[in-house]
Amino acid sequence: MLYEISEEQRIIIDTLRNFCEKMVKPVEEENDKEGRYPEDIVKEMAKLGFFGSAIPEKYGGNFVDYFTLALLSEEFARYSPSLATVMGASSLLFGNNLARNGTEKQKEKYLPIVATGEWMGCMGLTEPGAGSDAMSLSTTAKKVGDEYILNGTKTFISNAPVGDVALVYATLDKSLGPKGICTFIVESGFEGYSAGKKFDKMGLRSSPTGEIILEDCRVPKENLVGGEEGLGAKHMISGLDTERVGWGAMSLGLAQSAFDEALKYSLEREQFGGPIFNFQMVQKMIADMATEIEAARLLIYNAAAILDKGGNARLAASYAKLFSCDMCMRVAVDAVQIHGSYGYIKEFRVERMMRDAKIFSIGAGTSEVQRMIICHYLRK
């Protein structure tokens, strides 16, 4: 085996699993149906320290390493990719990025309150006119005295409807390209900040996704991440590496869960006088699902290990995200196929899983974008 799970990691996973069995699984179907953000469950997640999972101990969190975070994200997504996204957007996209790139003062001020779940964090990169082409963002930041004035709209932002603080990417001057991009810590209470509409989504329905609208939003200069202008593109790219490993791990967890349901069902459901598992065409689906899940697991753990060693994980993260996220959709579709019409009915978990699965090949850079990154490296 290429990886080993330590006793400490086993305890973290078991804690999460017990919590999910008790609090998440029983209400999963209802929350999905209603598109409900379950505040009571989120409060429990905070008590158990899950919002500190990507934030170093020094700043009130309990981050061990990216491998442990991948294990945690994978396990969480087996139960609820929605709640894993709530955790990831706050702890990883906001917290981990700030922990790596913020000044000491910024980290001391914001990380402990996010690590405890007292404040919910989010990360605003995507704009209505800048998705895959993220560097072309047009939210502006203008220095006026001791403040920056931000104007623009961020869209599809996980946790925005419930966010207390956001990492926001904005440009000082679009003609400077990536060199003009800066990252700001923007509190939802700052003048000129408003959470726009909340989206009604196909999947991840318990994870609130919405807009951040900045209209002459006044941000103190102390909230320029890293304390220096022009570092935003660097923060963004390194943040995407970690996000892709986290997102990949979640798609792996969801795929594993869909597979578990499909295997169980194939052994129970009888047609033509025996379990459908006995049919070779069903076995092909089962065997392919299991093999692809195992392959994705190795790619993700490898990318996490590179991050943990401080290496350049860009290519490894793209391989892992591309394969695992596309695999997740294939596995979810086959899990529904194995369930026949029952898989199409909401009472069966695989129905929700197939809807949840689609986002993984879109968010954090689409599968097409991952292929572009991979080819960029292969050409060199």
Ligand X SMILES: Cc1cc2nc3c(=O)[nH]c(=O)nc-3n(C[C@H](O)[C@H](O)[C@H](O)COP(=O)(O)OP(=O)(O)OC[C@H]3O[C@@H](n4cnc5c(N)ncnc54)[C@H](O)[C@@H]3O)c2cc1C
Residue 152 contacts by C-beta under 8 Å, 6 or more apart in sequence? Answer: 127, 137, 138, 139, 140, 170, 214
Measured CA distances, 233 to 137, 182, 201 (Å):
11, 7, 29
| Listed residue (84, 77, 20, 12) closest to 51, CA to CA | 84
C-beta of 254 vs 369, nearer to ligand X? 369
Distance CA 351, CA 344 (A): 6
| Listed residue (13, 1, 3, 6) closest to 253, CA to CA | 13
Query: 338, 266 in Cβ contact below 8 A?
Result: yes
C-beta of 104 vs 379, nearer to ligand X? 379
- Minimum distance, C-beta of residue 87 to ligand X, in the bound complex (Å): 12
Which helix H or strand E contains 252, and what residues bound it? helix 232-268
C-beta of 187 vs 260, nearer to ligand X? 187
- Minimum distance, C-beta of residue 38 to ligand X, in the bound complex (Å): 17
Query: 204, 359 in Cβ contact below 8 A?
Result: yes
- Minimum distance, C-beta of residue 199 to ligand X, in the bound complex (Å): 8
57 among known catalytic residues: no
- Minimum distance, C-beta of residue 361 to ligand X, in the bound complex (Å): 9
- Minimum distance, C-beta of residue 19 to ligand X, in the bound complex (Å): 23
Q: Tell me which residue has tokens 């790219």.
A: 237
| Listed residue (70, 244, 91, 232) closest to 159, CA to CA | 91
C-beta of 69 vs 359, nearer to ligand X? 359
- Minimum distance, C-beta of residue 162 to ligand X, in the bound complex (Å): 12
- Minimum distance, C-beta of residue 371 to ligand X, in the bound complex (Å): 8
C-beta of 90 vs 302, nearer to ligand X? 90
C-beta of 61 vs 203, nearer to ligand X? 203
Q: Which of 211, 243, 261, 292 is catalytic?
A: 243
First vs last C-alpha separation in the chain: 32
Cα dihedral 287→292→294→300 (10° resolution): -170
Query: 111, 94 in Cβ contact below 8 A?
Result: no
Contacting residues toward ligand X, per CB under 6 A = 89, 93, 122-126, 131-132, 156-158, 201, 204, 209, 359, 362-366, 368-369, 372
Query: 122, 160 in Cβ contact below 8 A?
Result: yes
- Minimum distance, C-beta of residue 336 to ligand X, in the bound complex (Å): 21
What are the E-state strand segments in the chain?
A: 121-124, 140-144, 147-158, 165-171, 181-187, 193-198, 209-220, 270-271, 274-275
CB closest to ligand X, residue no? 131
Buried b / exposed e over 342-377, threshold 16 CB at 10 Å, is ebeeeebbbbbbbbbbbbbbebbbbbebbeebeeee
Q: For the chain, how many residues are written? A: 380
Distance CA 297, CA 9 (A): 16
C-beta of 246 vs 365, nearer to ligand X? 365
C-beta of 80 vs 266, nearer to ligand X? 80
Distance CA 190, CA 192 (A): 6
Residues designated catalytic: 243
